[in-house]
Structure 1
């Protein structure tokens, strides 16, 4: 055997020591700190870390148990190689987890981690110019024998330094021997340069050197970025709203919480996750509103549930006609037994006879005539509602008391809150109270009912609200829907603003529904349930096609149960309940519909048809939805769907399975014919990737 081969064999004999856990705290050594806070000799640049919300002022939102993808823009001067590490940790922990980031292209580095449970986390990126890695990368390209010998001696110096950082273990001994072999080999002219290069690039020993980097010139991104991790229901859920006082089965009788419990099996069978109740507290008698929002209440009028508080109590009390605290606890337990959660309405406002008005007059605005300023949104007036004054001298006492309301209902088993008009209350208060509640109870969900200006809605989401109402109710044309939902699924909003879309609410009967056309109710249902991972309906009004407005140009329901009792048909097959049930089944069966990021609109040559697709994160589930927006006529057109988006060859046939009708269509190529009748104005189709035989529609999943 020649001397070169013998040298190589002897130098690399034996096995390197196994990888040891990285002790980040022991290796992070800072040099002198110039003005920008980095060591003066540091050359790595961490230019950006994504996702980020307002430079790290607010938290990015993600779901527990799912990979969180982080991108960093890192580079250095010249041709040296940076090492880049993602660090993440749970709030309050002294230990940082560290993950190597991999270069994608254009100085963009990627890594991901999984936060196992809901809570508050943080992440950042650190980097340094890695002398060993730079040497290794440069040596790979060298071919001149003399250059290789010089490079080997340089590498020996770097490897010996790594051996000293490794301490007294097996890595240290192996690295020191490797460095010595390179020095000797470089000095021996009989050792072939290619043999020497092979030794220098030995991958197992290189990995050992990488385990002991010189991080003395490490730099960190300019901020530790906050991350809020929540449970899956924060991203994917179906809500059903009903008024407890209308849950009974006898006309004219005030419904109770026990009546609500009797409705839960039906609501669960329809596939909903959350049952949302308007306020259940005592209703004020002073300035009580009558039917259809009349200024004067008549005997027997029940008033608006949002006029909270009377002599029986306030925000921590239950309207006696609905039942007792024991009835409420039984309702929470019954919801859980049916696979449902109970959502409560939080409306931080008071009726004139709320105990707060008597006991804490400093919490309200008083007018010169000695009366309290009631709520107004001209031309609308709410004489039965007093808003809080968040500029009160006793603002701290007010904040503390309002948080105690949330604490009370959390103790009663409620972990989902729909908050009424949060945009009319202090932003500073919401940041504090939502933050405090979620620090103590990370699984609590807050839905912001703020139909207001976009920047205000987004600010509330940044402050900590889990979900937000949207403008979906007023987006009806193809162009409006496409533009709006494209905006909702783009950065930066997609990282913190989670839409919860509703085709109707007790306050909003859009003119599109006022014609009473079943086709409109059906199409809006499908749009809501498939465009967004979270949606809700106000029922039974929606599924029973309630459509009469209080008057011309009004979005208020005629005989709204906001002001009176109603009696509804609770039959399982009434109205749209079978369709709603099927839609919710499809949502639960298909991961593609359980998130928003993958939404992609598809071209279709008909403005009355809207088409879009969603895919699961792993790409195994694809749903294509096409909706006819014309309630009167059948519409047809050609949907453009590039097979490459589906990982399918251009002329390979594939099957689309309509999950609403169980029809199956064989598609091939990039343009596909569809025709939809108003009777069932939508296709919700799952992709079946392979077709055995186009004649019998047999398929593989």
Structure 2
């Protein structure tokens, strides 16, 4: 930065601008900065927002955050995916300086003699402002978010719909005429002091939006990557196609039989279906049931041991069907409003074609053998990790080819297996290459790893990330962790999963159906994106002894389920999950992460939080118990401004789960949560008066 004024602490930025910040189409992204100048003259600050096509959008002016803090904020809203840029500009605002001085002098009772110079200087300023006013298309700049909607400049609310009516936007010619008339009034000695100054002082909103800008100083330019909406708001469901329609002991399901499960997935409201690897599975060192080292002849093996005589990462396991069958499966899902996500697991079985065609892509031990995967003392003899260092150009080209191959088959979302075990610079390159041509592609990082690595993957380009949600088992832990995620929302988007094929937490092992409800409420209402692994709705909870994973794990065997019988016998959570996803879709407040606010509960076993939609009156308030065994009571106090309300307001809260209604105020609100009947309340909020 060079220029007259100081511009510091620009946000959102990632590692000082090394990587782009993130947002999604339609999201209100906060832009903040510290900017200041010498003396008492007014400083103006605006953000110049540039779209993926490289053209400047009308600037948006930042408003002060508090008095005397020199912190400024505005909201910008990207309207298409791709890489955007922004810069901050600070400038001398002579009209605002004049306005502040004249207002104070009039309030102090000073007369015409005292303000003679101010009147002349004001007339000159307004003439300058009128002549510099553009006569082209109206500027949309200066639109500010308020608790009730949007305000034009710093004036009254224009609309709560998110659209600025054309009638509310005066034409540039009319604006120019108004400014000239105010300048003439300042010069008119026949008028009283109040009559001379009032028209000029009433231009504050107009000249806030279209100011006189002197000595502009620009910051560096920063990047923002904008994804499609599903990158932030989505509901994922995982199943193994080979289990859907399978016949034990070893007849695999197919894409055709798995397609029969698609309507149930769509009916539950899930809009992304994640498939574990669908490729041929190696036979050498194939794992048996429950991860045993010795496989029986009929054992189907782990889908993550990719590659056999039938092909590798660009092939389909012949038991599942053909490429045509897969395309029909994807099309059937899309017709139901469900997008298919594929697993991208960059590892091989000993039988993968790459092992013989590209031995340089693997690490060799001292005895000449290829090193299999290990996490001592655990051994994964059925998997060979890739070595990205021996032939980086060759391996990068092949991995990009694989991704583009499946993109050509209709896949626009990838769940990436263990990305933290591959070089981050590789992922930065791969995701960047894909996004250059296809900015809508989503990459979900399955990275249960160290915090710095998890955050690093978000910074270098991963769209979403698995999180530590599963292991946050108290209200305090969950609150603290979610606040960390909100603080990282400009580069890391969470996806909350209560279970995965690898993870069956002890809370689900022992908590019974109430805990399954509790964890589903927490995941679906706290995070805009969440997911479940098939079997959750049947309360599957039997662990392999001594492990945090399922007994008779589907990773190593076929596991067909009798869904209809479970529903008939009342052993299904399908209806509850369906209702959660309905609530999510019907309430835009739940579509965002940055709007998460926690409310006060005097019971440490109950978490209370709220989300308010910036574009509507929709507000959701949730109270959820962490206790699956006993009734819990709490008194809840609300931060009313965070709900868009005044402290004295009364509200009607309507429970979207039970249908009950209550009248609440700022404090002393009673909550009773029964783990059997109602472990959570999900309220809409309606103001009913003071």
TM normalised by structure 2 equals 0.85
For 1:343, the equivalent position in structure 2 comes to 341
CA RMSD, Structure 1 to Structure 2 (Å) = 3.3
Deviation for aligned residue 1:632: 2.5
For 1:332, the equivalent position in structure 2 comes to 330
Q: Equivalent of 2:434, from 434, 437, 444?
A: 437
Q: Distance between the aligned counterparts of 2:60 and 2:52, measured in 1?
A: 18
Deviations 1:399-433 (A, max 9, x none): 11111111111111111110000001111111111
Is residue 2:2 matched to residue 1:38? yes
Aligned residue runs from structure 1 range 512-523, under 5 A: 512-515=507-510, 517-523=512-518
For 2:146, the equivalent position in structure 1 comes to none
For 1:117, the equivalent position in structure 2 comes to 80
Deviations 1:34-75 (A, max 9, x none): xxx624xx2x22223222222222222212123333233322
Aligned residue runs from structure 1 range 555-634, under 5 A: 555-571=548-564, 573=567, 574-618=571-615, 620-634=617-631
For 2:496, the equivalent position in structure 1 comes to 501
Is residue 2:27 matched to residue 1:74? no
User: Do 2:130 and 2:180's aligned partners in 1 also have CA atoms closer than 8 Å?
Assistant: no
Deviation for aligned residue 1:583: 1.5
Deviation for aligned residue 1:342: 0.3
User: Do 1:516 and 1:545's aligned partners in 2 also have CA atoms closer than 8 Å?
Assistant: no
Q: Distance between the aligned counterparts of 2:241 and 2:440, measured in 1?
A: 25
Q: Distance between the aligned counterparts of 1:663 and 1:193, measured in 2?
A: 61
Q: Distance between the aligned counterparts of 1:162 and 1:625, measured in 2?
A: 50
What count of residue pairs does the alignment treat as equivalent?
642
For 1:551, the equivalent position in structure 2 comes to 545
Aligned residue runs from structure 1 range 395-544, under 5 A: 395-489=392-486, 491=487, 493-515=488-510, 517-539=512-534, 541-544=535-538
For 2:366, the equivalent position in structure 1 comes to 368
Q: Which deviates more from structure 2 when the two are superposed, residues 75-84 or residues 360-369?
A: 75-84
Q: Distance between the aligned counterparts of 2:405 and 2:459, measured in 1?
A: 25
Deviation for aligned residue 1:626: 2.5
For 1:293, the equivalent position in structure 2 comes to 291
User: Do 2:621 and 2:685's aligned partners in 1 also have CA atoms closer than 8 Å?
Assistant: no
Q: Distance between the aligned counterparts of 1:239 and 1:199, measured in 2?
A: 58
Q: Distance between the aligned counterparts of 1:565 and 1:546, measured in 2?
A: 15
Q: Give the secondary structure class of the aligned counterpart of 1:610.
A: strand
Q: Distance between the aligned counterparts of 2:222 and 2:261, measured in 1?
A: 44
Distance 1:206-1:286 versus aligned 2 partners, 3 A rule: closer
Q: Distance between the aligned counterparts of 2:286 and 2:221, measured in 1?
A: 51
Q: Distance between the aligned counterparts of 2:234 and 2:274, measured in 1?
A: 12
Q: Which deviates more from structure 2 when the two are superposed, residues 116-125 or residues 637-646?
A: 637-646
Distance 1:262-1:80 versus aligned 2 partners, 3 A rule: same
Q: Which deviates more from structure 2 when the two are superposed, residues 595-604 or residues 82-91?
A: 595-604
Q: Give the secondary structure class of the aligned counterpart of 2:89.
A: strand
User: Do 1:152 and 1:200's aligned partners in 2 also have CA atoms closer than 8 Å?
Assistant: no
Q: Give the secondary structure class of the aligned counterpart of 1:285.
A: coil
User: Do 1:248 and 1:255's aligned partners in 2 also have CA atoms closer than 8 Å?
Assistant: yes
Deviation for aligned residue 1:155: 5.4
Is residue 2:310 matched to residue 1:302? no
User: Do 1:658 and 1:683's aligned partners in 2 also have CA atoms closer than 8 Å?
Assistant: no
Is residue 2:10 matched to residue 1:49? yes
User: Do 1:654 and 1:687's aligned partners in 2 also have CA atoms closer than 8 Å?
Assistant: no
Aligned residue runs from structure 1 range 56-135, under 5 A: 56-105=17-66, 106=68, 107-131=70-94, 133-135=96-98
Deviation for aligned residue 1:249: 5.2
User: Do 2:185 and 2:196's aligned partners in 1 also have CA atoms closer than 8 Å?
Assistant: no
Q: Distance between the aligned counterparts of 2:381 and 2:601, measured in 1?
A: 50
User: Do 2:521 and 2:680's aligned partners in 1 also have CA atoms closer than 8 Å?
Assistant: no
Aligned residue runs from structure 1 range 200-211, under 5 A: 201=200
User: Do 2:655 and 2:684's aligned partners in 1 also have CA atoms closer than 8 Å?
Assistant: no
Q: Distance between the aligned counterparts of 1:274 and 1:497, measured in 2?
A: 19
User: Do 1:532 and 1:596's aligned partners in 2 also have CA atoms closer than 8 Å?
Assistant: yes
Aligned residue runs from structure 1 range 153-192, under 5 A: 154=121
Q: Equivalent of 1:148, from 101, 105, 115?
A: 115
For 2:382, the equivalent position in structure 1 comes to 384
Distance 1:279-1:194 versus aligned 2 partners, 3 A rule: same
Deviation for aligned residue 1:605: 3.4
Distance 1:136-1:652 versus aligned 2 partners, 3 A rule: closer
Q: Give the secondary structure class of the aligned counterpart of 2:263.
A: helix
Structure 2, unpaired ranges of 5+: 137-171
Q: Distance between the aligned counterparts of 1:518 and 1:533, measured in 2?
A: 23
User: Do 2:514 and 2:679's aligned partners in 1 also have CA atoms closer than 8 Å?
Assistant: no
Q: Distance between the aligned counterparts of 2:474 and 2:135, measured in 1?
A: 71
Is residue 2:245 matched to residue 1:248? yes
Distance 1:181-1:632 versus aligned 2 partners, 3 A rule: closer
User: Do 1:49 and 1:73's aligned partners in 2 also have CA atoms closer than 8 Å?
Assistant: yes
Distance 1:362-1:642 versus aligned 2 partners, 3 A rule: closer
Q: Give the secondary structure class of the aligned counterpart of 1:623.
A: strand
Distance 1:161-1:377 versus aligned 2 partners, 3 A rule: same
Deviation for aligned residue 1:206: 11
Q: Distance between the aligned counterparts of 2:217 and 2:210, measured in 1?
A: 18
For 2:159, the equivalent position in structure 1 comes to none
Q: Give the secondary structure class of the aligned counterpart of 1:225.
A: strand
Distance 1:545-1:47 versus aligned 2 partners, 3 A rule: same
TM normalised by structure 1 equals 0.84
Deviations 1:179-234 (A, max 9, x none): 99799x69xxx87893896499476799699968465x32111x211111112211
Q: Distance between the aligned counterparts of 1:364 and 1:338, measured in 2?
A: 41
Q: Which deviates more from structure 2 when the two are superposed, residues 679-688 or residues 157-166?
A: 157-166
For 2:158, the equivalent position in structure 1 comes to none
Q: Which deviates more from structure 2 when the two are superposed, residues 670-679 or residues 555-564?
A: 670-679
Q: Which deviates more from structure 2 when the two are superposed, residues 454-463 or residues 612-621?
A: 612-621
Deviations 1:636-670 (A, max 9, x none): 33333355654667776543322222233344561
User: Do 1:160 and 1:175's aligned partners in 2 also have CA atoms closer than 8 Å?
Assistant: no
Q: Distance between the aligned counterparts of 1:402 and 1:473, measured in 2?
A: 31
For 2:155, the equivalent position in structure 1 comes to none
For 2:154, the equivalent position in structure 1 comes to none
